[in-house]
Amino acid sequence: MAKKLNVTPLHDRVIVKADAAEEKTAGGIIIPDTAKEKPQRGTVVAVGAGKKDEPVTVKAGDTVLYGKYSGTEITIDGQELLIMRESDILAII
Amino acid sequence: MAKKLNVTPLHDRVIVKADAAEEKTAGGIIIPDTAKEKPQRGTVVAVGAGKKDEPVTVKAGDTVLYGKYSGTEITIDGQELLIMRESDILAII
Amino acid sequence: MAKKLNVTPLHDRVIVKADAAEEKTAGGIIIPDTAKEKPQRGTVVAVGAGKKDEPVTVKAGDTVLYGKYSGTEITIDGQELLIMRESDILAII
Amino acid sequence: MAKKLNVTPLHDRVIVKADAAEEKTAGGIIIPDTAKEKPQRGTVVAVGAGKKDEPVTVKAGDTVLYGKYSGTEITIDGQELLIMRESDILAII
Amino acid sequence: MAKKLNVTPLHDRVIVKADAAEEKTAGGIIIPDTAKEKPQRGTVVAVGAGKKDEPVTVKAGDTVLYGKYSGTEITIDGQELLIMRESDILAII
Amino acid sequence: MAKKLNVTPLHDRVIVKADAAEEKTAGGIIIPDTAKEKPQRGTVVAVGAGKKDEPVTVKAGDTVLYGKYSGTEITIDGQELLIMRESDILAII
Amino acid sequence: MAKKLNVTPLHDRVIVKADAAEEKTAGGIIIPDTAKEKPQRGTVVAVGAGKKDEPVTVKAGDTVLYGKYSGTEITIDGQELLIMRESDILAII
């Protein structure tokens, strides 16, 4: 899991560390770049306090799926992270 | 039915496994690709907890119709699935 | 009337079977294709349970008028039908 | 006034029979087509039951003004009518 | 002031009679057409009953300013008038 | 301050008299036109009564900042003024 | 921290003083302009009173991240600042 960050996302935003793209299939066959999966998998590293009457559902440590183009890239303490709204997260794995 | 997945869709999202496109009509006649039906048929494999005051109506195991271009393709445990909002589902069969 | 279907539209959706386009006027004169009426007439064959605080007004068996381009074509049990939101229906005849 | 129709508009829709365009000015001078007035005048022939907490204000028999491009043309019992939302009606004369 | 009309605007609509464009400045100098003021000045001649929980603020007889392109031109009893939503009115003079 | 006007803005609108653009920097150096500041500074001369449950926050006499392209130009009593919604005002100085 | 300003942002707006872009990486290597981080870091210098039922969460002195193109540039007392809505702020560091 990504280490604890010194950052608090605002409201319904969450910060996610993207998994490295899987270079191999389960069976160990190297797949070319164009066959990589579309939605990204990542780990939540920080969550906001939610909106007034709607707390954030995901929590730090959750592995999540999110759209490939979701969020804004930020670099904190040398780590490349993504900050997105919780509504950009599709599912918890 | 698709096997139980280790994935929880967020809020009002559902995960659907698309039926294979029907290659034959009821009478067994092979139909060309351009005559395939527009809305897709599939089986719900996982549903989210719903939005604050609106639980999800469909449940795992339901056969549903949804727009051909609804949802985002995801691959989980080697299965190709679709994750969409419940509002993309047209009807339960 | 269209026969009972094994399909439940979701929420505020309704399924309509379009009337065959009227080839003749009341007086029996055949009218060319370009003079056919714009809004379609059809019969409701199934309705959803409505939205949270707004039940669906039309019911199975109603003859309704709806915009020519409303709804999505679906084929169920060999019948060509339309699934649309109730708000696409203009009037009950 | 237009005769009673066998049609019930849905929700906040109303059916209007357009007046014939006035071919003459008050003083009896024939005006060319390009000088005809923009908003149309017509007679309400049927009204819906309104939306949940907002009944329809106009009633059958009212003479109303509405935007020239408002509504959808429908033909019922041989009459050419317009079905529009009540919000498309500008004023009652 | 414009004379009493036999017209009732619907809901939050108001009918305004535009002032003739001022051809002279206060000091009596004739100004060319391109220097005429942008927002129009006019007199309210009729107001609607307002929306459900929001009565109309302006009243017949008020001199008002409104955007140059606000409203729809209507001709009633030979008078050229404008019918607009109250939200198109900028200020009462 | 601009003198009291005989105008009442409607609802959440306010009338502002723009300050003359500052031709000199604090240190007295004349700056060319292209370097002038973007948001405008002005003085509130009249405010509306607010919207139903939201009174207007600024008051006549306040010096305010607002976006360069906010509002509509109006000329009242020979003064060139701007009428804008309060939401176009960025800050009170 | 930026010095106290004589400015009150309206409603949910905040004024931020952008940090100088970091010219060096943590390890002291000078990075070219095109590699600079996308979201900006800055210090809140003033906050509005919030919207009717939603006070502003950030406070003067907070170091915040915000989108590179958020806000409007303003110059107050010779300082170049940004005024933006709180919703443009991504996180507090």
* B34 has a chain A CB within 8 A of its CB: no
pLDDT digits (tens, 9 = 90+) for B8-67: 999 999 999 998 765 455 555 554 544 444 668 999 999 999 987 788 999 999 999 998
pLDDT at A92: 95
CB–CB of G10 and F53 under 8 A?
no
* E86 has a chain F CB within 8 A of its CB: yes
For residue D63, which of D37, D83, D40 has the smallest C-alpha distance? D40
pLDDT digits (tens, 9 = 90+) for A21-59: 654 555 555 545 444 446 689 999 999 999 877 889 999
> Which of C38, C54, C92 lies nearest to residue D10, judging by beta carbons?
C92
Query: Mutate which of B5, B8, B10 to disrupt the A interface (most A C-beta within 10 Å)?
Result: B10
Amino acid making up residue A19: D
Confidence of residue A68 (pLDDT cuts 50, 70, 90): confident
Q: Which two tokens stand for residue A61?
A: 């440590």
Query: Mutate which of G14, G57, G58, G90 to disrupt the A interface (most A C-beta within 10 Å)?
Result: G90
Q: What does the H/E/C string look like for chain F?
A: CCCCCCCEECCCEEEEEECCCCCECCCCCECCHHHCCCCEEEEEEEECCCECCECCCCCCCCEEEECCCCCEEEEECCEEEEEEEHHHEEEEC
Confidence of residue G3 (pLDDT cuts 50, 70, 90): low
Chain C contact partners (≥3 CB pairs within 8 A): B, D
**Per-chain mean pLDDT for chain C:** 81
pLDDT at B4: 64
pLDDT of G26 strictly over 60 = no
pLDDT of C37 strictly over 70 = no
Q: Which two tokens stand for residue D81?
A: 């009518």
Strands G13-18, G79-85: pairing kind: antiparallel
Window 66-85 of A, Cβ < 8 Å to G: 72-76, 78, 83
CB B75 within 8 A of CB A93: no
Confidence of residue A82 (pLDDT cuts 50, 70, 90): very high
Query: Mutate which of E90, E92, E93 to disrupt the F interface (most F C-beta within 10 Å)?
Result: E90
pLDDT digits (tens, 9 = 90+) for F32-85: 544 444 668 999 999 999 987 788 999 999 999 998 888 998 888 888 899 999
Q: Which range, of C4-13, F46-55, G27-36, averages the lowest pLDDT?
A: G27-36
CB E38 within 8 A of CB E69: no
d(CA D66, nearest CA chain E) in Å = 10
Q: Which range, of A9-13, B40-44, E69-73, G33-37, averages the lowest pLDDT?
A: G33-37
pLDDT of C35 strictly over 50 = no
pLDDT at G21: 63
CB–CB of F83 and E67 under 8 A?
no
CB–CB of E78 and D26 under 8 A?
yes
pLDDT of D3 strictly over 50 = yes
Measured in whole angstroms, the distance separating CA A80 from the mean position of its chain's CA atoms is 11
* E90 has a chain F CB within 8 A of its CB: yes
Confidence of residue A6 (pLDDT cuts 50, 70, 90): confident
pLDDT at D21: 63
> What mean pLDDT comes out for the span D43-47?
95
pLDDT at G27: 54
* D8 has a chain C CB within 8 A of its CB: yes
For chains E and B, having 3+ Cβ pairs within 8 Å is answered no
pLDDT at B6: 81
pLDDT at F4: 64
For residue A10, which of E14, B56, C81, G54 has the smallest C-alpha distance? G54
Residues of E in contact with D65 (CB under 8 A): 7, 74, 83
Return the sign of the alpha-carbon dihedral for residues D48, D53, D58, D60: positive
Phi, psi of D60 (to 5 degrees): -55, 135
> By percentage, how much of chain A surpasses pLDDT 70?
75
Confidence of residue E29 (pLDDT cuts 50, 70, 90): low
pLDDT at C29: 53
> Could you give the domains of chain D?
13-21+30-92 (2.30.33.40)
Q: Which two tokens stand for residue E73?
A: 């031109």
Confidence of residue B68 (pLDDT cuts 50, 70, 90): confident
Confidence of residue C22 (pLDDT cuts 50, 70, 90): low
> What mean pLDDT comes out for the span G13-24?
79
Exposed (0-12), middle (13-18) or buried (19+): which is D72, by Cβ within 10 Å? middle
pLDDT at D4: 64
d(CA C50, nearest CA chain D) in Å = 13
pLDDT at G30: 52
pLDDT of E19 strictly over 50 = yes
Confidence of residue D6 (pLDDT cuts 50, 70, 90): confident
Phi, psi of A87 (to 5 degrees): -65, -10
pLDDT at A1: 44
CB–CB of G8 and F92 under 8 A?
yes
